[in-house]
Structure 1
Amino acid sequence: MAKSLQEQLLGAGLVDNKKAKAIKQEKRKKNKQVGRSGLAEEDAQKKARLERERLEKAERDRALNEKKKAELREREIQAQIRQLVNVNTLRVDGETGYQFADGAKIQKIYVDDQTVDALAKGRLALVRKGDSYAVVARPVAEKIAERDAAFVVVLNDGSGEKVDEDDPYKDYQIPDDLMW
C-alpha cells in the first residue's frame, strides 16, 4: 500500500508529529479558503444577478403602476364629462335644422329658433353625448373643454358681432339664422 508523503517524511525522521499536524492544518485552511473564495465569487455573481432582477422587476412594476394610474385618471375624466353633460343638457326640441361640422362630416340637429341664435352667438354649445349631441350652456362647455376638448363640437366665440371699421360691407349685416 502506498504511503502518503507525510507518513514517508515521518518514517524517515525528517519531520516530527507537531510539524506534520501544522502542515496538515495549513493544507486544510488553504483548501477551505479556495473553496470559500470560489463560493464567494459565485455568491457575488448570484447576488448581483438577483439585484439586477429585483431592480428590473421594480422598474416594470413602476411602469405598470403609472399606466394603471393614467387609465384610472382617463376613466375619471370621462365620468366627469358624462356627468356634466347629463346634468346640464338643455332640452331644445324644434323644427329648425342646425347644421354643423363634426370632423369631416356635416351633422344636423333640430332645435328652436332661439337656440340657433344662442349657438351662433356662443351662449350655448354643442357637445358629444354618446352617439348623439347635446346642447349645453357655454360655461359647462368650457369646463368640458378643460377636461377633454374633443367632446366640444361647437363653441362659437361670439366675436362675429364686432364690425371692422374699414370693412366696406359693414353696413350690410348677415343674419344669424341664415341657412345654406
Structure 2
Amino acid sequence: MSLSKASTGLLSRCVYSLVVRRAASKIIATRPQKAARQLTIPSTESGYFNYERDFSRDSRYSQPQKTMDTPWRFLTAKLSHAYEVYPIFFLTGWWFVLFCFTTFWSFEKIEVWLDRSADAAPWDWERSRDNYWKKPTLLFDLKGESHKRCELMEALQDEMLEASKKLGKK
C-alpha cells in the first residue's frame, strides 16, 4: 500500500474533525458556562468569592454586553433612579430639534446653492429679482417689514445689470 492511499482517509478525517470543532465553538449561547475550577479561599478569610470570566466583549455570546457596559445602556439602565441624567436627555433632544429647525431655515435662504442646474447663482439678480422679498430673513418678523419689495433697490440693480451686460461681463 502506498503512502498516498493511506493519507487520503486520514486527511479527510482530520479536516472533518477540525471543521466540526470550529463550528461547535461558534455556537452562540447567552452566557458562558461556569468556570470548572474555582479558587479556594483560605479558611481564615470570610466573605463570598465566586470567579467568572468577563465575557462582555466576547462575540460568541448573544448578549455579550453586561448591564452598564455600553454608553447607551449606561445612560438608560437605571433611568428610574438616575434623575441626574434626565437633563442630559432633555437638553440633547432640545438641541437636536433646534439644530434641525436651524438647518431647515438656513436652506430656505438665498445663500445656500444646492440646485446647480441653473447657470446663474441664487443670489444673482436675474434669478432672485422676482422672489427676494419672499425669502426668510428674520425669525420673528411679526409686522412683515422684511417682506416688502424695495423699488429703489430694484431700479438700481436693474441699471447695474444692464451696465454690466454692456461691458460684456454678464
Q: Going by fraction, where is helix more abundant, 1 or 2?
A: 1
Shared fold (TM-score, shorter chain, > 0.5): no
Q: TM-score range by the shorter chain?
A: under 0.3
TM (norm. structure 1) is 0.25
Between Structure 1 and Structure 2, whose CA radius of gyration is higher? 1
Q: Going by fraction, where is strand more abundant, 1 or 2?
A: 1
Higher RCO structure (Cα 8 Å, ≥6 apart): 1
